Amino acid sequence: MPVVTLYLDRLQRLVGKTSKEKIISAIPFLGLDIEEQTNQYIRVEYSPNRPDYATDFGIAAGLQGLLGIKKGVVKLDVKRGPYQLKADQSVKKIRPYVTAIVAKNGNLDDETIRQLITLQEDLHFGIGRNRKKSSIGIHDLDKIEFPIRYTTAAKEHRFIPLGSETEKSISEILENTEVGIQYGKLLENAESVPIILDAKGNTISFPPIINSALTTVSTSTKNILVEVTATDKNTAEDTLSVVAATLQNAGFLLTSVQISGANNTTPSLKTKKMSLGVELANKILGLKTSSSVILAALKKCRLDALPKRNSISCTIPRFRFDILGPMDLIEEVALGYGIENLKPTLPQSSAVGQKNIVTKQLDLLSKIMVGLGFTEALNSSLVSKNIQYGMTNRDSFGFIQVVESKSQEHTILRDMLLPSLLDTLSRNVHEQYPQKLFEIGTVFSADDTIKEELSLCCISAHKDANYSEIKSILQSTLKTGFNIECETKTSTHFCFAKGKTADVIAKNSKVGAIGEIDPAIVENFKLRMPVVAFEIKLSGLIFN
Amino acid sequence: MSQVLHPIEKKIINALKETEKLNIEELEQKTDLSSDQVRRGIEWLKLKELADVIESQETKHNLSSSGSEVLKSGLPERKLVHLLKEGPKSFDEAKQSLSESDFHAAVSNAKRNDWITIDKDDSTTKISLKVQDPPQSAEEKVLQEINQGNFDQNALYHDKSQHEKLVGYFRLKKLGLIEEIVKKSKTISLTEKAKDIDTSQTDLAEIDVVASVPATFVARAHPLKEVINEIREIFASLGFTEVLGNFTQPSFWNFDALFTPQDHPAREMQDTFYIKDSVADKIASPNQIKQVSKSHKLGWRYNWSIEEAKKMVLRTHTTCVTIKYLADQKPDEARIFSLGRVFRNEKVSYKHLAEFNQVEGIVVGKDVTLRDLMGLQQEFYRKMGLPKVKFWPTFFPYTEPSLQSMVYNERLGKWVELFGMGIFRPEVTKPLGITKPVLAWGGGIERIAMLKYGLDDVREFYNNNLGWLRTAIQCQ
């Protein structure tokens, strides 16, 4: 989850009349997790559904509500401006939607610029789906001649990209720059790419890859143009609304940009209305409170609310697109009411609970194994191919693999438990012998579909370990636990030594294998003791 | 003096009374005890101040394989002597008979031993014997003594007259003809106190009740399994019935049914384990698929793909099991729970595992509330022995409202984040025909188990370190 750094002096200034202590203790009640705390700053993690909390401006607005300093909706006040942006038909195929807004007469200090960059990055990653769905460009308005045009350009098109001193062609940017390589694939090798040009023909932006150096924002920038390009119109406006709200909170005056062409229109950043039933809110939260209490709670969450018969009419700012319906409003009521004021109640139930029958049987089996002197080990279901196949000297085919595992230790689903237990022994050679271990776990096999079965593996290593010992354990386990008789029939198995292994037969079918571990495998695992083991499938044997 | 002695100790004392000083091997022979028993017995006697142990180091010498050969065939200088017995030889003649390398060693050593003279005239250089039958050289003496086993290196250091032999010894060692084996040994003797002990008089009925004994380890269930069992018991006692499900699941139940859009970052390969080349055949009923698809199109505005929903994943939470149960059974009232392994494609570290256990409880009922959910949490933690609980708002994609619980940990002296909870979103329940509110809560079990066992590294649960498994205290 994304993290934002909040400098306490600055945050206190933004929130207004309150103490830092009050701010810090209120932060978790906005749904923000404090990750790190020093005297100067705190680092908080916010939920991706609240991108307006990506900056201290948004968090300050939330805190003002919760601390009762300012309540109700922060309305976006957009003045009509002379600015025009026109989209060409050619963008339809590649990145069809564009939207923009102008923010004027503001002040940018270093920290504000840093906050805006974090906001931009988090929006790119979150609702922008790594710039695929939407991406943002923030520009110095005074470097731009209007009207501007959203169009496409060939790969030979040249301009000076942000962070460069010389002109580069689109191809060079895509092939030789870090952002080009990282995000170029979003353009899917299209012959022409999206581009924003101003009236003089200067390139402003090459979305979703990079802005031009010409319009770079600095601490001397007073007026800003924000443009968003997207594959979905709603996402474009969602994204723009968050940046617009943040800039307004930062002291800028919002001014509209008229947008036209290729099904694009000037964005409407109006609030939306939603109705919430008083009874529903009380029912879900377990409260019996009046509509005025609910109203007050909603206002503390920076929403507007008016009573309307048995319900409440709520006004929701454009950037709160996380609010989809009444349940989201009820959460706002809970936050405004104060989670700490909701007293837990224990609901009565006549239901009789119970563990699953399979779980019960496994518990019993575990108790029997412990009674027989075996200690339980736990290994992962996702194992390494080397231990499962290489170390047990068998050909690796037919295994079930996961895609792009971050760890070499966890790449395939195990088809038997024994290799992991051999590995366990191998990592404990310095511990006192005898070592007797068992594991009960799921094993996987692939046919048309993936089959999951429960398996029991039992292993014993000490200087006198032998076949009779482990066979006796096997028989005793099945007989005492489940009244199952089993036989052993001469066989061969890759894990066990020739002439010292058998199939385990129970209920007229083969359920597993037993034997002395093959000396070559004992050697592979660097074990210095004889090892005997059995492994049997429990599914079909003690469960149906 | 009455002293309680173990039979092992008595045997050792008796042996040392017969022979004043013995090493471990000798004691084994004389007492008929195993080397382990002898070692243990000596440790006990040492603690009781009845035995002295002097550790010493003995150096033994052996001929190497090339040394044994030289003993048979003679050193190069001796070979030269044999050759010269036929009469003086030129350098070339001698070289022909001896090998090139032997020749140089032979000449220089024979010269040093003062066995030969070398005469040069204009054309040739002749070697001849000075004495007809030169005596044994220092090197030859050393070789012979080592072979016979009566070589004493220490004696050479202390006797000036033996200096030449010492030099010979070092030369042979440098040539790799002899090997040095250092053997450490312990010589055990009785202390004065022990000499007075009459082993026959010590009371045979008495045993040493103070002496330390070898450790015995109890066989046991895995500590994590014990916590899991405890959690299952608590759920059952709160009226919850357990449902089980597969580890491998179609994306449909793991994600789509929970209103997670198909382009959501959590669904990417870097967070979720997809099973290679595995597609579910039948994922859900046609109506379930239709309704879920509709809810995605409406709520997230994109083209929902059934192919994406069919991709098999390792479940990332147990919610896929509970939601399928609810969708299939559509109960008006229920208390169920699901517990088991879940998977995340994460780098394994002290706080993250790729595979861990999760439990999830579900309450369905027409009158259930958020406060009930909080109450159930509190009761669960109380039963787990965690009495201090508080709640904070949080966000989960498929519940609204959502809360997280914090419990106070005395050992760490701070609040620790545990289970999350919430009420299933209507976008989740409605398409699946679930009409009553559903309370859901749960989280990772290893976190709780870490608190119980005082662990700071979650990997310990799966290391199967016997040292820990055998000694972790059961009652926490």
Mutation target for A interface from B276, B333, B345, B400: give the one with most A CBs within 10 A.
Answer: B400
Which residue in the set A28, A232, A376 is minimally distant from B392, CB to CB? A28
* Percentage of residues in chain B having pLDDT higher than 70: 97
**pLDDT of B203 above 60:** no
* Percentage of residues in chain A having pLDDT higher than 90: 81
Query: Mean pLDDT for chain B?
Result: 88
**pLDDT of B15 above 60:** yes
Which residue in the set A327, A345, A374 is minimally distant from B426, CB to CB? A327
For B54-77, what is each residue's pLDDT tens digit?
888 878 888 888 888 888 888 888
CA B347 to chain A, closest CA, distance in angstroms equals: 6
Residue B1: which pLDDT band, with cuts at 50, 70 and 90? very low
Question: Which pLDDT score, from 0 to 100, does residue B204 have?
Answer: 56
* Mean pLDDT, range A522-542, rounded to an integer: 93
Q: B377: which chain A residues are within 8 Å (Cβ-Cβ)?
A: 344
For B361-382, what is each residue's pLDDT tens digit?
999 999 999 999 999 999 999 9
Mutation target for B interface from A283, A356, A425, A527: give the one with most B CBs within 10 A.
Answer: A356
The set of residues, in sequence order, having a beta carbon less than 8 Å from that of B329 and lying 6+ positions away, is none
Q: What one-letter code names the amino acid at B321? A: V
CATH of B63-176, one of 1.10.10.200, 3.30.230.10, 1.10.3720.10, 1.10.10.10: 1.10.10.10
Cβ contact B222–A377 (<8 Å): yes
Paired tokens of A389 = 């196949």
Calpha distance A67→A20 (Å, rounded): 12
For A109-118, what is each residue's pLDDT tens digit?
999 999 999 9
Q: A234: which chain B residues are within 8 Å (Cβ-Cβ)?
A: 301
CB pairs under 8 A between A and B: 247
Calpha distance A324→A304 (Å, rounded): 16
Cβ contact A352–B239 (<8 Å): yes
**pLDDT of A223 above 90:** yes
Sheet with B51-63: strands ordered across: B22-23, B178-190, B51-63
Residue A268: which pLDDT band, with cuts at 50, 70 and 90? confident
* Mean pLDDT, range B260-289, rounded to an integer: 89
Cβ contact A346–B375 (<8 Å): yes
Strands, E assignment, A447-508: 450-461, 486-490, 496-506
Q: A444: which chain B residues are within 8 Å (Cβ-Cβ)?
A: 247-248
Number of H helices, E strands in chain A: 15, 27
Mutation target for B interface from A63, A238, A333, A339: give the one with most B CBs within 10 A.
Answer: A339
By C-alpha distance, the chain B residue nearest A28 is B392
What CATH code is assigned to B223-469? 3.30.930.10
**pLDDT of B218 above 50:** yes
Strand partners, A234: none
Cβ contact B393–A335 (<8 Å): yes
Q: Which fold has domain B1-59+177-214?
A: Arc Repressor Mutant, subunit A (1.10.10)
Q: B226: which chain A residues are within 8 Å (Cβ-Cβ)?
A: none
Q: A100, A95, A134, A101: which is closest to A262 by C-alpha?
A: A95
Which residue in the set B269, B426, B467 is minimally distant from A404, CB to CB? B269
The set of residues, in sequence order, having a beta carbon less than 8 Å from that of B123 and lying 6+ positions away, is none
Max CA separation in chain B (angstroms)? 126
Calpha distance A187→B120 (Å, rounded): 94
Domains of chain A, CATH where assigned:
3-66 (3.30.56.10), 78-260 (3.50.40.10), 275-315+323-339 (3.30.56.10), 357-537 (3.30.930.10)
Taking the model in full, what pTM does it have?
0.77
Question: Which pLDDT score, from 0 to 100, does residue B206 have?
Answer: 66
Which residue in the set B244, B248, B390 is minimally distant from A358, CB to CB? B244
Evaluated on CA atoms B360, B365, B370, B373, the torsion sign reads negative
The DSSP secondary structure of B132-180, one letter per residue, reads SSPPPPHHHHHHHHHHHT---HHHHHH-GGGHHHHHHHHHHHHTT-EEE
Q: A399: which chain B residues are within 8 Å (Cβ-Cβ)?
A: none
Q: Yes or no: say if B320 and B245 are a contact pair by the CB < 8 Å rule.
A: yes
For B116-164, what is each residue's pLDDT tens digit?
888 887 777 888 888 888 888 888 888 888 888 888 877 777 777 788 8
By C-alpha distance, the chain A residue nearest B244 is A356
Alpha helices (H) in B311-368, listed in sequence order: 319-329
* Percentage of residues in chain A having pLDDT higher than 70: 100
CA B232 to chain A, closest CA, distance in angstroms equals: 7
CA A299 to chain B, closest CA, distance in angstroms equals: 17
For B401-449, what is each residue's pLDDT tens digit?
999 999 998 888 889 999 999 999 999 999 999 999 999 999 999 999 9
For A300-342, what is each residue's pLDDT tens digit?
999 999 998 889 999 999 999 999 999 999 999 999 999 999 9
Cβ contact B281–A286 (<8 Å): no
Cβ contact A378–B462 (<8 Å): yes
CA B320 to chain A, closest CA, distance in angstroms equals: 16
Beta-strand pair B22-23/A158-159: unpaired
Question: Which pLDDT score, from 0 to 100, does residue B205 have?
Answer: 64
Cβ contact A342–B370 (<8 Å): yes
CA A22 to chain B, closest CA, distance in angstroms equals: 16
**pLDDT of B216 above 80:** yes
* Mean pLDDT, range A496-509, rounded to an integer: 94
**pLDDT of A48 above 60:** yes
Paired tokens of B56 = 């010493």
Query: Mean pLDDT for chain A?
Result: 92
Calpha distance B169→A47 (Å, rounded): 81
Question: Which pLDDT score, from 0 to 100, does residue B127 have?
Answer: 86
Strands, E assignment, A384-530: 400-401, 412-413, 435-446, 450-461, 486-490, 496-506, 509-517
B135: cis peptide before it, omega within 30°?
no
For A422-460, what is each residue's pLDDT tens digit?
999 999 999 999 999 999 999 999 888 899 999 999 999
Q: A359: which chain B residues are within 8 Å (Cβ-Cβ)?
A: 232, 242, 244
Q: B219: which chain A residues are within 8 Å (Cβ-Cβ)?
A: 369-375, 436
Least confident interval from A142-156, A176-190, A485-499, B245-259: A176-190
Calpha distance B122→B125 (Å, rounded): 8
* CATH 3.30.930.10 intervals, chain B: 223-469
Cβ contact A402–B302 (<8 Å): no
For A7-32, what is each residue's pLDDT tens digit?
999 999 999 989 999 999 999 999 99
Q: How many residues does chain B have?
A: 476
Calpha distance A391→A413 (Å, rounded): 16
Q: What are phi and psi of B115, to 5 degrees?
A: -95, -25
CA A148 to chain B, closest CA, distance in angstroms equals: 29
Cβ contact A370–B220 (<8 Å): yes
C-alpha separations of B282 from A187, B296, B307, B310 in Å? 35, 20, 11, 8
Question: Which pLDDT score, from 0 to 100, does residue B263 have?
Answer: 87
Mutation target for A interface from B303, B464, B465: give the one with most A CBs within 10 A.
Answer: B464
Calpha distance A279→A55 (Å, rounded): 35
CA A152 to chain B, closest CA, distance in angstroms equals: 25
Q: Yes or no: say if B373 and B238 are a contact pair by the CB < 8 Å rule.
A: no
Q: B188, B189, B166, B169: which is closest to B178 by C-alpha?
A: B169
As a whole number of Å, the CA-based R_g of chain A is 33
**pLDDT of B308 above 90:** yes
Which residue in the set A379, A406, A413 is minimally distant from B462, CB to CB? A379
* Mean pLDDT, range A519-531, rounded to an integer: 93
Spacing of C-alpha A254 from chain mean position: 33
Cβ contact B278–A427 (<8 Å): no
Q: A390, A383, A451, A453: which is closest to A420 by C-alpha?
A: A383
* CATH 1.10.10.10 intervals, chain B: 1-59+177-214, 63-176
Which residue in the set A342, A353, A410 is minimally distant from B241, CB to CB? A353
Q: A340: which chain B residues are within 8 Å (Cβ-Cβ)?
A: 390-391
